[in-house]
A and B are shown apart, each in its own frame.
Chain A
Amino acid sequence: MLAFLKKFINKVFRDLFRGRKELKIGLYGPPNAGKSTLANLISKDWLGEEMSTVSNILHETREINIQEKINIEKDGKKLTFSLVDTPGIATKIDYEDFMKKGMNKTQAKKRAKEATKGVVDAIRWLDDMDVVVVVLDSTEDPYSQVNITIIGNLEARDIPVLLVANKTDLKRSNVKNIESAFPQYDIVGISAMKGKNIDEFYEALLALAG
């Protein structure tokens, strides 16, 4: 009963303040799922500039990146928001993994330290989000506890969620796996790198947050 009351109060407050401040839409997910690639695509589509650095090495995004005043307009619907690109949430970080990607020991340890702080920051920022887009890699196992923890925490905080199955351009992509793992959500399959199905993504975002 207390949890229900807490959720209700959170929702009332969120709705009350939504009209006064800019909506914050967060991109969350495990490392290397394509959050920053999607952030860049959105930012480029509507502001004409990219906002995050992208690479194949894990934990490229180690700080919260914010792009303010993004205006999306589609089929007469409008949405203005700040886009928050967050570091990937992981349960383990090993500096030796970065050394395998060609970094020296000092660089690898520095990156590992920054990455651990990034995860802590991403979790701390959950409370500040109005809407969250959870970006999952559709070539990976969707049942990882990190995915379940992220989505569970958003549900517990009553934050609206859009689930995105990214990397559908790859052969190993399996959107159905993600649909089976999270049957309570509508899943939008996209390729942020190729811009595939991005219109459907914007429509879903407008429907959820608009």
Chain B
Amino acid sequence: MLTLRYLPHHEIEKLDSSQRIKKILEIVKKDNIVLLEGRLKDEEEAELISETMKSITNKFKGIEIASIESQSEMSFFQNLMLKTFMKNRSGMTIIGPASVIKEIKKDPKKIELLTKESKRKK
């Protein structure tokens, strides 16, 4: 069974970067897939990868992550307004454990989530 955990922006907006990353990793390590409203900052994504690497064990093998922008064909001005007023709230980010998600395929308009086949007891 797959569990998706929606994380609205207001749940992380008051947290600093390290607290945000800690919160996301805590959820993912419990084999949940996080649907985050908006995007992490570029520096936060790099930090998330770093912290993921430090957390890898025989059981936790890392994460799969993908984000999409809300609209890809906006003018420079529209983009600027969106970034200024919506900050990192536009678009969506999916973060899940590598033990559950095999691959995330992405193009600018869609995300395909390929999960690993679960082992069934006979």
Where the two chains meet, the residues of A that have a C-beta atom closer than 8 Å to any C-beta of B are 89-95, 109, 112, 116-117, 119-120, 123-124, 126, 141, 143-146, 148-149, 152-153, 155-156
**Does B75 interact with chain A (Cβ within 8 Å)?**
no
**What's the interface size class on B, roughly?**
20 to 34
**A148 vs B39: C-alpha distance in the bound complex, in angstroms?**
12
Q: Are B49 and A94 in contact (CB under 8 A)?
A: no
**Does B106 interact with chain A (Cβ within 8 Å)?**
yes
**Does B92 interact with chain A (Cβ within 8 Å)?**
no
Q: Are B66 and A145 in contact (CB under 8 A)?
A: yes
Q: Are A116 and B53 in contact (CB under 8 A)?
A: yes
**Residues on B with beta carbons closer than 8 Å to the beta carbon of A156:** 41-43
**Residues on B with beta carbons closer than 8 Å to the beta carbon of A95:** 58
Contact partner of B64 (CB less than 8 A), chosen from A91, A117, A153, is A91
Contact partner of A90 (CB less than 8 A), chosen from B54, B62, B104, is B62
With A116-B54, A120-B54, A145-B104 already in contact, 10 other A-B pairs whose C-beta atoms are closer than 8 Å: A91-B52, A92-B64, A93-B53, A120-B50, A144-B106, A145-B45, A148-B67, A149-B42, A153-B43, A156-B41
Q: Are B62 and A94 in contact (CB under 8 A)?
A: yes
Minimal beta-carbon separation of B14 from chain A (angstroms)? 19
Minimal beta-carbon separation of A42 from chain B (angstroms)? 25
| A and B contact pairs by CB, cutoff 8 A, 8 listed | A116-B54, A119-B53, A126-B46, A141-B105, A143-B106, A145-B67, A148-B67, A155-B42
Q: Are B42 and A123 in contact (CB under 8 A)?
A: no
**Does B113 interact with chain A (Cβ within 8 Å)?**
no
Q: Are B49 and A149 in contact (CB under 8 A)?
A: yes
Per-position 1/0 for B63-81, Cβ under 8 A of A: 1111100000000000000
**Residues on A with beta carbons closer than 8 Å to the beta carbon of B47:** 123
Q: Are B53 and A120 in contact (CB under 8 A)?
A: yes
**Does B5 interact with chain A (Cβ within 8 Å)?**
no
Minimal beta-carbon separation of B116 from chain A (angstroms)? 11
Contact partner of B56 (CB less than 8 A), chosen from A112, A143, A145, is A112
Q: Are B53 and A94 in contact (CB under 8 A)?
A: no
Q: Are A93 and B43 in contact (CB under 8 A)?
A: no
**Residues on B with beta carbons closer than 8 Å to the beta carbon of A109:** 58
Minimal beta-carbon separation of B39 from chain A (angstroms)? 10
**Residues on A with beta carbons closer than 8 Å to the beta carbon of B105:** 141, 143
**Residues on B with beta carbons closer than 8 Å to the beta carbon of A143:** 105-108
Q: Are B54 and A93 in contact (CB under 8 A)?
A: no
B65: nearest chain-A partner, CB-CB: A145
**Residues on B with beta carbons closer than 8 Å to the beta carbon of A149:** 42, 45-46, 49
Minimal beta-carbon separation of A114 from chain B (angstroms)? 11
Q: Are A152 and B66 in contact (CB under 8 A)?
A: no
**Residues on A with beta carbons closer than 8 Å to the beta carbon of B52:** 91-92
**Does B61 interact with chain A (Cβ within 8 Å)?**
yes
Q: Are B61 and A94 in contact (CB under 8 A)?
A: yes
**Residues on A with beta carbons closer than 8 Å to the beta carbon of B46:** 123, 126, 149, 153
A116: nearest chain-B partner, CB-CB: B53
Q: Are B62 and A92 in contact (CB under 8 A)?
A: yes
**Residues on A with beta carbons closer than 8 Å to the beta carbon of B7:** none
